[in-house]
């Protein structure tokens, strides 16, 4: 009887231990290591502080945004020389972004008001970007350029002090509200594996005790790494019984490849006939150039891309994919990133010039589809190209 009681007690204890263990796994969210998905890179946050560059001399805040050629590269001096920003004095009623240092060229603006350029370089690796958020406020007016592309111009609930708009030619923009933080999704402005340059041109009217400041924060979130495929061994399938009177399939010709899609060169003054295009047709973009190992468009490319934008606007049902291709010199990873960034630059040009975003996608093919399987200057020129594939007509 005693032995039976001891056995029952041991069973109850084992059951309770199992229940507690199960509760631990549930309540702590524990997942076996082989079922976990690798976490993405921790977010990166950039805030205004003393590491930002500021122009040494005042600049003119014009009515229109700066053209790309007037925006200084990361290694190029700002107007009047490159200096480091200092902590700015600001009004107590101002809405400063938490965690940032409000900055200016000097602690306060002069009595006439002034405009400066501010710059920050952000180096990103190969990790895929999930989302980038910009928060900004300033006294009084600002334009933000990321990789030479204007982020925003007008603020619907902004205001300008009477009598200063003509002096600073602010007519195409309105000022930031001092007590409001403006938030923008700028995910599509950043590129992986390159130095990204943020440039802000900001102006102060100095009508309120000569206060002047720029306060901004950029939060970069990265996509999680894809889960690793399961390593379970595949079960062998039983051999299918032969079917009677079924002829064997013809042997494939060695080295045979599917027919390549039809290709047409597209450039300014050489629009294709829309009737000749079909889903899968390829348009190679003529006279579209990039600097070596760079994704930024050479200005010589604009004529062709402007013509493509007009062609897309005339044929509003046309949907396309922009495909980037490199030569065979870089390694696979660099080639994939470079070709994707170049294709996205072309897509951005089209959407910035009036083509609806839902009509254009992009893809980097790297060096997976060379036209010439060789590494020479001639082969490089042939293989590195940007193509347009018709998705829908």
Residues of the chain with CATH 2.60.120: 44-222
CATH class belonging to 44-222: mainly beta
Residues contacting residue 350 through CB under 8 Å, at least 6 positions apart: 305, 308, 309, 312, 322, 360
User: Residue 290 — pLDDT band, cuts 50, 70, 90?
Assistant: confident
For residues 238 and 294, the model is more confident at 294
User: Residue 209 — pLDDT band, cuts 50, 70, 90?
Assistant: low
Q: Whole-model pTM? A: 0.54
Least confident of 20-29, 95-104, 132-141: 20-29
Closest CA relative to residue 182, chosen from 147, 141, 221, 233 = 141
- Whole-number Å distance between alpha carbons of 86 and 19: 61
Q: Cβ(216)–Cβ(48) under 8 Å? A: yes
Residues of the chain with CATH 3.30.1330.60: 263-392
Helix and strand tally (H, E) in the chain? 5, 17
Angstrom distances, CA of residue 392 to CA of 235, 279, 286, 346: 41, 6, 22, 19
- Whole-number Å distance between alpha carbons of 391 and 143: 36
User: Residue 98 — pLDDT band, cuts 50, 70, 90?
Assistant: very high
Token duo for residue 118? 């501010």
- Whole-number Å distance between alpha carbons of 5 and 13: 12
Q: Cβ(199)–Cβ(145) under 8 Å? A: yes
Superfamily (CATH H level) for 263-392: OmpA-like domain (3.30.1330.60)
Label the pairing between strands 263-266 and 282-285. parallel
- Whole-number Å distance between alpha carbons of 331 and 326: 10
């Amino acid at each position: 009887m005693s032995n039976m009681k001891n056995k029952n007690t041991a069973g109850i204890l084992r059951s309770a231990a199992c229940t507690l263990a199960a509760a631990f796994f549930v309540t702590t969210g524990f997942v076996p290591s082989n079922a976990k998905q690798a976490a993405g890179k921790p977010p990166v946050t950039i805030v205004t502080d003393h590491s930002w560059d500021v122009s040494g001399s005042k600049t003119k805040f014009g009515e229109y945004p700066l053209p790309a050629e007037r925006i200084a590269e990361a290694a190029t001096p700002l107007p009047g020389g490159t200096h480091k920003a200092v902590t700015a004095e600001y009004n107590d009623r101002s809405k400063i972004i938490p965690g940032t240092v409000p900055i200016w060229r000097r602690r306060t603006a002069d009595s006439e008001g002034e405009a400066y350029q501010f710059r920050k370089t952000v180096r990103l690796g190969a990790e895929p970007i999930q989302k980038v958020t910009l928060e900004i406020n300033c006294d009084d007016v600002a334009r933000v350029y990321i990789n030479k592309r204007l982020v925003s111009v007008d603020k619907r609930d902004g205001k300008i002090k009477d009598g200063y708009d003509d002096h600073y030619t602010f007519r195409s923009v309105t000022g930031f509200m001092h007590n409001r933080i403006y938030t923008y999704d700028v995910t599509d402005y950043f590129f992986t594996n390159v130095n990204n340059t943020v440039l802000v041109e900001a102006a102060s009217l100095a009508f309120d005790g000569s206060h002047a400041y720029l306060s901004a924060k950029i939060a970069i979130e990265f996509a999680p790494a894809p889960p690793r495929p399961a390593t379970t061994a595949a079960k062998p399938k039983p051999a299918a019984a032969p079917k009677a009177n079924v002829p064997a399939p013809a042997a494939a010709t060695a080295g045979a490849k599917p027919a390549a899609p039809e290709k047409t060169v597209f450039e300014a003054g050489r629009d294709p006939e829309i009737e000749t295009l079909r889903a899968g047709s390829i348009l190679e973009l003529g006279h579209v150039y990039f600097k070596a190992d760079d994704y930024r468009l050479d200005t010589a490319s604009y004529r062709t891309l402007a013509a493509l934008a007009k062609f897309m606007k005339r044929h509003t049902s046309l949907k396309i994919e922009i495909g980037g291709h490199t030569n065979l010199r870089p390694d696979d990873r660099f080639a994939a990133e470079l070709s994707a960034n170049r294709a996205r630059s072309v897509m951005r040009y089209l959407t910035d010039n009036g083509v609806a975003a839902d009509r254009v996608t992009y893809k980097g093919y790297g060096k997976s589809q060379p036209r010439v399987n060789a590494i020479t200057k001639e082969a490089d020129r042939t293989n590195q190209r940007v193509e347009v594939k018709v998705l829908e007509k």
